[in-house]
Every structure is written in C-alpha cells, then in structure tokens.
C-alpha cells in the first residue's frame, strides 16, 4: 500500500509527467474495422498507463502478420521481425537487457505454425517476457489460409472444402512443456477480462503466455459467434490467485474454481472442448527464469585483459 | 648429414618431418599428438598439426573407416600448412594404415612403425585381413617396422587401450630427441584433473617407449630448432576465434551444435562468464541467429557460429540484420558441401553463399582469415566493422583452420577493442533512427533505452524514421545506403600484398586458409626460376582495392581453391559451359579479366605439391588472359 501511496504522490507532484493511455499510442492501427487487434492494443495502452512505464524502457517484438504490426502503434521501442521468430529476438534482447520490459506479439500462424519450435523452447527457457498470442484462427494478411488453430471443417482458400484436421490447441501444447510458468486465455470481446489477464501476465516473473481469442472481421467473423451470443457457453476460471474483473460475474454465470497452481487440473481443463474457458489456467512463479539464471555480472575492461593474459599463459610456448 | 648417438643409433639431420599417428577412434591419438606438437612448439620448432577425424564417434574398430589420428608437420623454420606426404607413421593396426595409404598420404620410403600383433593373431580373419592389407601396400617402398605396441604397453598397464598412445609418444620422443622434461610437464597438465598416479603411469609409459626405441630402432632424426625471440602461443583456429571474440569485447554467442564449428562454443562456454559473456545454446540454427540478433539489437555485438548447413538456415535472419542495420558477427567454419556433405572435412565452398545467399540485395562484409593467428585478429576486426558500419560481418574459416594447430605471436590486448560504443544520450528532436549520411550511408545506432529514440525497426522497406514505406524513392534510398557503406568501408582497405615479384608470367590468387600451401608451392616454382607470384585475399566482400591493377602485371592469373570447378574437356564441358571455382567466378565478374582456376575438393587441405603441379601446368599450357 505504501508503494502505491508514494507513486501517487509522485504523480501529483509533477502531473505533467503522468502518461495516459493515449500517450502510448503512436498512430492509428491500420487494421480492418472490427479487428480483434484493436482490443489488444487498447488493453496494452491501459496497462502501460497504469504501470506508468517509460516508453524508452520497453520493447515490443513481433513477427509477421496483421498482429505483428502491433509494435508500430505503440510508443516504445519495437522490433517488427520475420515470420515466426519474434520469441528468439525477444529472448536475446531480454538476456542482454533484463531491465527492459519486453512484450511479444504473435499471431496464430506466426506462433503455432512457422514459429512452433521457438514457441515450445521459449516456454521452457521461461524468460521474463509478456507474450500475446493474437489468435484469430486464420491467416489474414495473406488472405484467408488455414492456420493450425482453424477449426476443423472451416473453409479457407487453402482448404476450400474445409480444414482437414482438428485444430491445434495452444493451451494444451504450452501446458505440456516443462517449465511452462504462466498460461492464460482471454478474448477480445471481454475487454475487462483481457485487461486483467494482461495485467497478471505483466506482473508474472517468467514467460507469461496469453492466448487472446479474437475474430478476423474479414475471414473468421463467425468462429466465436455462438459463444458471443450465449455467454453460458463460456466458463470463467476463478480463484483468488486467478484473474477477475468487476462485472464479470454478471456476464458469465458459469464459473469454476480452479487453482492455477494445479498443473494436472489445468491440463485437463485445457483439453476439454465442451465449453470455452477463459481465465488463468496455470501460474507458478517459482520456476527458473532464463534471464535470471543466466545473468552475468559485468567485468571491467582491466579485469578482462588481466584474465585474457592469464588464459593465454595456458597456450604459451 | 648423419652422426651416431651414444646409443649407437644413426642420427640424420633434416630440416623438417611430417609424422602421422593413426589409430582406431578412441585410442588416444589426439592426446599423443597434442603433447608431441606442443613439445615441438615449446622447443622452438615451427609446427602445424591436422586432425584425422572419422565422422562417427565410435566407428567399427580395426577397419579403414575407423581411422582417427593426427598429422604433425614440424621443422626448423615456420610451418604454414600440412605439407605433402608423411615421412614417418605410427599405426596401431594395418587397416588404419591402409586407409592412409589409399589417400596417398605416405611418401615413398616412409617409415611405418606398426603394431606387430595382428600378423600372428589367433583369429584367422584378422590374419587374412592383415596379409591382404600388407599385400595392397607392398607396391610402395615403405619401410615397415613391426613394433609390439600392445605387448609392451601391457608391461606397464592392465588395459592397453588406455596406454598405447603414451608408449607411441615415447617412441616419437626418442626418434626425434624431444625434451622429456617438457613432455612430462605436458602430461601433468593434460591430466591435472586426475590423480597424480595417472600422470605417473603415463610418464612411465613414455619412458618405456623411449627405452624400447633406443634398444630396437637404431635411428633418430635431428630437427634443429630456433627458439623464438618474441613470446608465442600455440592453439587451433577455433580456440583462436573464441579467444578473439573475447578480446574483441564481444559478450554474447548464440549457437546450435554443428561440426566443425561447435568447439568454438566449447571454448567460450568454459570461460565466457569470466568476461561478462554468455553462450546461449539455441533450439536450432535459426533461433541461434535470432537470439544473437536480439542481443545485438539490445546494444551488444553478438556472435553466432555455424557451418554450411547452419549458414543456410540463418539466411533469412542475416537479411533481417542487414535490412535493419543491426551489427552481427557470424563465424562460418566451412566444411564440405552441399547439404550435410563432409561434416568433418575442409572445403571452401561457402564463398558465394556467404556473399549472395539472401534473396534481395543484401550487402555484407565477408572476411576470410588466412592463418590461425588471423582467426584471432579477424574477430576483433569483425566486431569493429560490424559496429562502425551497422552491418553483418561474416567470417569464413574452415575445418583446416578450425582443428589445425600452429603457433603465432602472442597478441597484446588493446583496451580499445573492448570499448562499448553505444551512446545513450537522449535523442534531440529531428535525429532519426536511420539518419543516413547520404554521402556514406552511415547513421547513428539507436538502441532501446535511449530517451526520445523510440521507433520500430522492421524488415520491411522503410524510411529514415523507420516507418514502413513502400514508395519507390524510399526503397531505392534504402538499397543505396546499405550498399554505400560497403564502398565506404572498401575505401579504408589497402591493396593486397603480392608475394613474389609484382610482375611475371603467372599470378596465383587464393583466399583464406590456403595461404601457407600456395606460398610454399610458389616458393618452389620461384626457386626453379619460374616467374610466379601469389596474392592471398582476406576481404571477399567488399574485395580489396587495386586487384585489376595487380592482375595487369601478369600474363596469366589463376585462382587456387578447395572447391569444385568443371574441367574443360570433360563430357559436355567447354569454355562456354564451364563452371568456375567460386573466387574465380567472383574475380572474373569483378575485374572482367580472364581468370582461370585450379580447384580440388578432396575433403582435405591442398598439398603444396599439387598446387605446384597445377601452376606448372598453367604456365606451360594455359591460355593467357
């Protein structure tokens, strides 16, 4: 409490230093009207303002796809890289600049298809990154191709008679990786839950993986139509260590107590397809965090040269 | 000149010798050779050693594919390459010996000390295989000397497998009159993590080998040594590159295991943290490049090390580094290709891929160290270029440099190599992330943490503000600025020195690790009065300046390379269809000079004698340029 009081005082002392959500946006997102990416951007802006993060002390790393345009719209350092590889860049950045807040934004094709190897391994490395999977179940930028998370039977340009296979379940996959430390699911049409989930993800020390269910207004506008129409088809995972937000209890009547420390229960819930589940599936902040366990104290130039000379004595003839 | 030793042995003085220790994989040949080579270097001899490595960890023993070992060439003067054929070999069985015979590794008259037990082995098949192998080798005039290696080793230890190598070291110690005190010191160093008893037993084995040789061989060689005036070190190229990276102030290496590059990361992993650095073993080659790029983006100049197949996988990331102008150093330890090719063996086939593998125009700097010493210094150069020019620097070594061992002048470390050039001062209004100087293409590197510098770097075409810009003008400007930097860098280079006269009948042009062998071949031709010179390139992109001028003073120019080129006269191959060696291709395009090539890709370093023959042939028959 005292920390909060102090920070409030600081703000009052110099109100001009206080950044509001709009200060974190550089320009209007060039996404289609109704795109779920806007919801994620709004939630992030709110989070950054709440945390009063300094724009130069954070970086947003993305891959390729509609969602990967994200960094361009945030007042922060950004790295709009190559398809599927955002996690590798973010890991390298975090290892060498642990003081920066590093966010990663990926789409479903980006993360779960071309970048699947990095996703699995970054989960295990567990670097302190806040990871957003903007999952609209389709390749949008390249115009309507089936992605691993496209529902079975869904027609696209590459599977015009319907997608052949059951969709890949990113929660299940992530929860199956050893050292996975934070797995949550939220949705673009529940902004309060989305914001609360990102808040929890930001606070988690480790690889916080948030799957954000969303719609592509062009190609998958109806994938979650039933759930949006009938809130009873969605079950909210609740717990004192979970995610909650004001008003959610009125919106969703189906609520399940789930302790996010219970990995077995988390895996079982992630696997079930009877309902859409939003909430904190798993969280354990005692797992090894890669950038912490690999932290190397700096060495002065003088010491380096002295040590090199000693090293070269081993090779001297 | 012969003299007689106290033992009665004849001592023959020679300027140099090449020795092979060949065994089954796992019989300790490397340790024996390492100690012997180090001792020669410490005594003041020039030394070059080459590993003979099977691709598998434990191939079936006592076969022609199981050969593991070392070649040590040492002499009175500086040794710059592995030379021609071997003059003496110690073979633990006749099959490994046969494999070397088939590669034409032994000179006529080569002394071969070989294990005697196989001839009379109780297993009929082994006896038959032995007889067959000896029959195959009988065409050459080798001097076979049977030695009861195992029997003698068992007099000291219970398991000959862990001991024969030290007995063999004893034989070499006596034959070449090596300083036993130095050998003992080396043994103690190698086994410093084991009990004192281990060191003791190994020394006993060496002494037993010495005694056996003294009693039975009756010959010795004297290779005079000239102790060096300056302080020197001895190491292989991968060790030199790893230590060079540290001396260069690099603090981050991301890699994925691949032969023959991996040992660079072993060297680094062992000590990097004492220098504020770390090795990250990534999940794959692509991730290694990505993590390195992320580290560089954060303000380091990161290193990633790889070999051919890995370089192919990193292609897209290198293009991203080039496009975003984030400095990155890539070390490619070349092996035989294409595809998985020859994992443990040398080739110079990655040159054009190093320059041109990226789709799109992706200019980068490519450096090829010419010696083990340059493997060290190239890393310092690479970091500085990468940082100054905000570019990718690809360092091309090869399996020959990676595992070859040579001594060189001990470097003096310079604190400026370690400098961190990042400027965190706030960006004043109007200074942009790609604030290209239109003359040079150079711009200030802005990294996360710099107040007021927030921007998003992108692999997409962009403008000075790093905003995605698809307009023609922005794209042309970006291409121009990235390319201009190379021209500016080239303007800082000197023309390469010519070894030999600056004019003549033939100029031999090489690149990278072949320098020693080419110069030795050229020396030989020049001693015979032939007007041949050579010039060894280090910078392949951009090329060193003044090449056309240098070439103009020679009637003929040819490259010598360890890669593939067509031979005119082969089926379908004409002057028109012929594919050239990679450097020849590059130089022809660059200078419009009719440059010929002689290339070979046998999976081993070039031999001076083969190069000599090729240049004599070119002098006699090749067309002028």
Interface test with A, best of B186, B242, B272, B297 (most A CBs within 10 A): B297
For B541-568, the three-class secondary structure string (H helix, E strand, C coil) is ECECCCHHHHHCCEEEEEEEECCCCCCE
Residue with tokens 């400095």: B327
pLDDT band for position B228 (cuts 50, 70, 90): confident
DSSP output for A75-128 = SSEEEE--TT-HHHHHHHHHHH-TTSEEEEEEEHHIIIIITHHHHHHHHHH--S
Interface touch A81/B320, C-beta < 8 Å: yes
How many angstroms separate the CA atoms of A305 and B418, rounded?
9
Comparing A14-18, A290-294, B174-178, B273-277, the range with the smallest average pLDDT is A14-18
Interface touch A56/B450, C-beta < 8 Å: yes
Helical spans, DSSP H, in B501-607: 515-527, 547-551, 582-591
How many angstroms separate the CA atoms of A14 and A271, rounded?
50
Nearest-Cα residue of chain A relative to residue B289: A88
Residue A5 has pLDDT above 70, yes or no: no
Mean pLDDT over residues A235-255, rounded?
93
Question: Which among A90, A87, A64, A67 has a CA at the least distance from the CA of A77?
Answer: A90
Nearest-Cα residue of chain B relative to residue A99: B449
Own/partner contacts of B441-446, CB < 8 Å, gap of 24 or more, are B441/B480, B441/B481, B441/B482, B441/B483, B441/B484, B441/B485, B441/B488, B442/B388, B442/B389, B442/B390, B442/B485, B442/B488, B443/B325, B443/B390, B443/B481, B445/B325, B445/B327, B445/B387, B445/B390
How many angstroms separate the CA atoms of A39 and A188, rounded?
6
Neighbours of B609 (CB within 10 A): 16
Residue A8 has pLDDT above 50, yes or no: no
Residue pLDDT, tens place only, B417-439 = 998 767 778 887 777 899 999 99
Domains of chain B are 2-222 (3.40.920.10), 233-410 (3.40.50.970), 425-492 (no CATH), 504-621 (3.40.50.920)
The nearest CA of chain B is from the CA of A222 a distance in Å of 31
Q: Is B614 left (phi over 0), alpha (psi -120 to 50) or beta?
A: alpha
CB contact at 8 A, B513 and B397: yes
Residue B3's φ and ψ, nearest 5 degrees, are -135, 180
Residue pLDDT, tens place only, B32-60 = 999 999 999 989 999 999 988 877 777 88
pLDDT band for position A9 (cuts 50, 70, 90): very low
Quick one: tokens of A285? 């902040």
CB contact at 8 A, A281 and A270: yes
Residue pLDDT, tens place only, B94-144 = 999 999 999 999 999 999 999 999 999 999 999 999 999 999 999 999 999
The dihedral over CA atoms of A188, A189, A193, A198, expressed in degrees to the nearest 10, equals 10
CB contact at 8 A, B67 and B5: no
Residue A1 has pLDDT above 70, yes or no: no
The length of chain B in residues reads 625
The length of chain A in residues reads 317
Please, how many CA atoms are within 13 Å of residue B543, restricted to the half-sphere of its CB? 19
How many angstroms separate the CA atoms of B448 and A63, rounded?
18
Residue B606 has pLDDT above 80, yes or no: yes
B143 forms beta bridges with B111
Residue pLDDT, tens place only, A37-90 = 999 999 999 999 999 999 999 999 999 999 999 999 999 999 999 999 999 999
Mean pLDDT over residues B342-353, rounded?
96
- Picking from A80, A92, A305, the nearest residue to B290 by CB comes out as A92
A163 touches chain B (CB under 8 A): no
DSSP output for chain A = -HHHHHHHHHHHHTGGG---GGGGB-S---S-TT-HHHHHHHHHHHHHHHHT--GGGEEEEE-SSSGGGGGGGBSSEEEE--TT-HHHHHHHHHHH-TTSEEEEEEEHHIIIIITHHHHHHHHHH--S-EEEEEE-SEETTTTSEE-TTSPTT---SSSTT---SPPP-HHHHHHTSTT--EEEEEETT-HHHHHHHHHHHHHSSS-EEEEEE---TTT-TTTTHHHHH-GGGEEEEE-TTS---TTHHHH---EEE--TT-HHHHHHHHH--SSEEEEEEEE-TTSPPHHHHT------HHHHHHHHHHHHHTTB-
The nearest CA of chain A is from the CA of B161 a distance in Å of 28
A293 touches chain B (CB under 8 A): no
In this predicted complex, what is the ipTM? Answer: 0.95
CB contact at 8 A, B332 and B255: no
Nearest-Cα residue of chain A relative to residue B189: A314
Interface touch B294/A96, C-beta < 8 Å: yes
How many angstroms separate the CA atoms of B292 and B294, rounded?
5
How many angstroms separate the CA atoms of B610 and A69, rounded?
57
Interface test with A, best of B251, B285, B329, B448 (most A CBs within 10 A): B448
CB contact at 8 A, A217 and A33: yes
C-alpha B299: how far from chain center:
30
- Picking from A81, A89, A308, the nearest residue to B247 by CB comes out as A308
CB contact at 8 A, B517 and B544: no
Quick one: tokens of B494? 């000197």
Which residues in chain B are contacts of A93 at CB distance < 8 A?
Answer: 294-295, 297-298, 448
Quick one: tokens of A182? 């934070």
pLDDT band for position A217 (cuts 50, 70, 90): very high
The dihedral over CA atoms of B104, B107, B113, B117, expressed in degrees to the nearest 10, equals 40
pLDDT band for position A12 (cuts 50, 70, 90): very low
Instruction: Quote the pLDDT of residue A242.
Output: 95
Calculate the average pLDDT of chain A: 94
Q: Which 3 state secondary structure label does DSSP give B178? A: coil
Neighbours of B376 (CB within 10 A): 24
How many angstroms separate the CA atoms of B166 and B203, rounded?
8
Q: Which 3 state secondary structure label does DSSP give B336? A: strand
Which residues in chain A are contacts of B41 at CB distance < 8 A?
Answer: 317
A23 touches chain B (CB under 8 A): no
Q: Which 3 state secondary structure label does DSSP give B172? A: helix
Quick one: tokens of B278? 């770390």
Residue B1 has pLDDT above 80, yes or no: no
Question: Which among B557, B545, B564, B568 has a CA at the least distance from the CA of B593?
Answer: B557
Instruction: Quote the pLDDT of residue B623.
Output: 66
CB contact at 8 A, B589 and B351: no
How many angstroms separate the CA atoms of B456 and B465, rounded?
9
Interface touch B320/A82, C-beta < 8 Å: yes
Instruction: Quote the pLDDT of residue B230.
Output: 87
| A228 Cβ neighbours under 8 A, 6+ residues apart | A189
Nearest-Cα residue of chain A relative to residue B236: A315
How many angstroms separate the CA atoms of A105 and B274, rounded?
35
Residue A7 has pLDDT above 50, yes or no: no
Nearest-Cα residue of chain A relative to residue B44: A317
pLDDT band for position A110 (cuts 50, 70, 90): very high
CB contact at 8 A, B485 and B476: no
Which residues in chain B are contacts of A90 at CB distance < 8 A?
Answer: 294
Which residues in chain B are contacts of A91 at CB distance < 8 A?
Answer: 280, 290-291, 294
Interface touch A315/B294, C-beta < 8 Å: no
Interface touch A95/B460, C-beta < 8 Å: no
Mean pLDDT over residues B429-458, rounded?
92
Domains of chain A are 2-313 (3.40.50.970)
Which element (helix H / strand E) includes B101? Answer: helix B94-102
Q: Order of strands, edge to edge, in the sheet holding B10-13?
A: B2-4, B10-13, B219-222
Quick one: tokens of B311? 């370089």
Cβ-Cβ contacts under 8 Å between A and B: the total is: 179
Q: What percent of chain B has pLDDT over 70?
A: 99
Q: In whole angstroms, how far apart are CA B178 and each of A317, B175, B240, B319, B454?
A: 15, 8, 26, 52, 64
Considering only residues 219 to 278 of chain A, which have any Cβ-Cβ distance to chain B shorter than 8 Å? none
Mean pLDDT over residues B192-220, rounded?
95
A80 forms beta bridges with A62, B458
Check residues B171 and B59 and name the one with the higher pLDDT. Answer: B171
A116 touches chain B (CB under 8 A): no
Helical spans, DSSP H, in B195-259: 196-216, 237-247
Nearest-Cα residue of chain B relative to residue A303: B275
């Amino acid at each position: 409490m005292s920390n909060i009081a102090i920070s409030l005082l600081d703000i009052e002392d110099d109100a001009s230093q206080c950044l509001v959500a709009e200060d974190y946006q550089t320009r209007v997102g060039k996404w289609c009207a109704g795109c779920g990416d806007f919801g994620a951007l709004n939630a992030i802006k709110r989070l950054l303002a709440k945390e009063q993060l300094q724009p130069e002390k954070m970086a947003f790393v993305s891959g390729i796809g509609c969602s990967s345009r994200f960094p361009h719209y945030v007042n922060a350092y950004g790295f709009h890289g190559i398809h599927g590889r955002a996690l590798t860049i973010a890991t390298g950045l975090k290892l060498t600049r642990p003081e920066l807040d590093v966010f990663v934004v990926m789409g479903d094709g980006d993360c779960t298809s071309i970048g699947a190897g990095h996703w699995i391994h970054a989960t295990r490395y567990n670097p302190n990154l806040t990871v957003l999977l903007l999952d609209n179940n389709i390749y949008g930028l390249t115009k309507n191709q089936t992605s691993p998370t496209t529902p079975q039977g869904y027609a696209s340009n590459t599977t015009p008679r319907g997608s052949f296979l059951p969709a890949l379940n990113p929660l299940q996959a992530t929860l199956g990786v050893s050292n996975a430390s934070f797995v949550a699911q939220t949705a673009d049409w529940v902004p309060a839950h989305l914001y609360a989930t990102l808040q929890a993800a930001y606070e988690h020390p480790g690889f916080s993986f948030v799957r954000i269910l969303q719609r592509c207004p062009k190609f998958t506008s109806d994938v979650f139509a039933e759930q949006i129409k009938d809130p009873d088809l969605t079950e909210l995972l609740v717990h004192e260590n979970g995610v909650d937000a004001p008003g959610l209890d009125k919106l969703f009547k189906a609520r399940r107590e789930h302790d996010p420390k219970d990995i077995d229960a988390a895996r079982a819930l992630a696997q079930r397809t009877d309902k859409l589940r939003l909430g904190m599936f798993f969280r354990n902040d005692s797992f090894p965090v890669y950038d912490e366990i690999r932290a190397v104290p700096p060495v002065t130039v003088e010491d380096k040269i002295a040590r090199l000379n000693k090293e070269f004595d081993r090779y001297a003839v | 000149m012969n003299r007689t030793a106290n033992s009665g042995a004849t001592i023959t003085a020679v300027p140099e010798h090449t020795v092979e220790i060949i065994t089954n994989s796992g019989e300790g040949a490397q340790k024996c050779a390492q100690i012997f080579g180090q001792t020669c270097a410490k005594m003041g001899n020039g030394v070059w050693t080459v590993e003979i490595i099977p691709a598998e960890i434990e191939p079936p023993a006592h076969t022609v594919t199981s050969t593991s070992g070392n070649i040590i060439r040492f002499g009175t003067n500086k040794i710059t390459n592995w030379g021609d054929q071997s003059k003496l070999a110690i073979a633990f069985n006749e099959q490994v010996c046969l494999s070397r015979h088939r590669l034409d590794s032994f000179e006529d008259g080569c002394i071969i000390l070989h294990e005697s037990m196989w001839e009379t082995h109780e297993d009929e098949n082994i006896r038959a295989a032995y007889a067959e192998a000896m029959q195959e080798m009988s065409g050459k005039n080798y001097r076979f000397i049977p030695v009861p290696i195992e029997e003698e080793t068992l007099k000291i230890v219970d398991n000959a497998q862990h001991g024969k190598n030290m007995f063999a070291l004893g034989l070499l110690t006596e034959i070449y009159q090596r300083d036993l005190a130095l050998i003992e010191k080396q043994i103690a160093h190698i086994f410093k993590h084991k009990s004192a008893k281990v060191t003791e037993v190994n020394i006993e084995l060496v002494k037993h080998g010495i005694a056996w040789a003294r009693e039975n061989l009756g010959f010795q060689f004297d290779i005079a040594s000239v102790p060096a005036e300056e302080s020197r070190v001895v190491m292989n190229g991968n060790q030199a590159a790893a230590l060079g990276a540290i001396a260069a102030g690099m603090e981050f290496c991301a890699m994925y295991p691949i032969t023959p590059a991996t040992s660079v990361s072993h060297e680094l992993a062992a000590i990097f943290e004492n220098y504020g650095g770390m090795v990250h073993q990534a999940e794959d080659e692509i991730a290694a490049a990505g993590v390195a790029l992320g580290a560089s983006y954060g303000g380091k100049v990161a290193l990633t090390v790889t070999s051919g197949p890995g370089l192919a996988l990193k292609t897209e990331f290198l293009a991203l580094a080039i496009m975003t102008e984030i400095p990155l150093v890539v070390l490619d330890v070349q092996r035989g290709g294409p595809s998985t090719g020859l994992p443990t063996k040398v080739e110079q086939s990655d040159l054009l891929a190093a320059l041109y593998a990226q789709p799109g125009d992706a200019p980068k700097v490519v450096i090829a160290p010419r010696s083990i010493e340059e493997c060290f210094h190239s890393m310092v150069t690479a970091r500085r270029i990468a940082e100054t020019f905000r570019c990718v620097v690809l360092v091309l070594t090869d399996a020959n440099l990676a595992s070859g061992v040579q001594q060189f002048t001990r470097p003096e470390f310079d604190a400026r190599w370690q400098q961190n050039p990042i400027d965190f001062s706030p960006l004043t209004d109007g200074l942009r992330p790609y604030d290209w100087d239109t003359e040079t293409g150079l711009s200030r590197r802005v990294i996360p943490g710099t107040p007021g510098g927030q921007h998003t770097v992108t692999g997409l075409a962009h403008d000075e503000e790093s905003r995605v810009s698809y307009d023609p003008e922005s794209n042309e400007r970006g291409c121009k600025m990235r390319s201009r930097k190379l021209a500016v860098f080239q303007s800082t280079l000197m023309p390469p020195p010519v070894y030999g006269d600056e004019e003549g009948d033939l100029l031999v042009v090489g690149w990278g690790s072949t320098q020693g062998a080419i110069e030795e071949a050229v020396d030989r031709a020049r001693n015979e009065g032939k007007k041949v010179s050579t010039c060894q390139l280090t910078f392949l992109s951009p090329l060193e300046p003044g090449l056309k001028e240098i070439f103009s003073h020679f009637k003929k120019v040819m490259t010598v390379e360890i890669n593939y080129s067509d031979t005119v006269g082969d089926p379908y191959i004409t002057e028109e269809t012929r594919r050239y060696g990679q450097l020849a291709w590059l130089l022809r395009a660059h200078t419009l000079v009719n440059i010929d090539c002689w290339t070979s890709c046998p999976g081993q370093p070039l031999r001076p004698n083969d190069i000599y023959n090729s240049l004599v042939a070119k002098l006699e028959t090749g067309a002028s340029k």
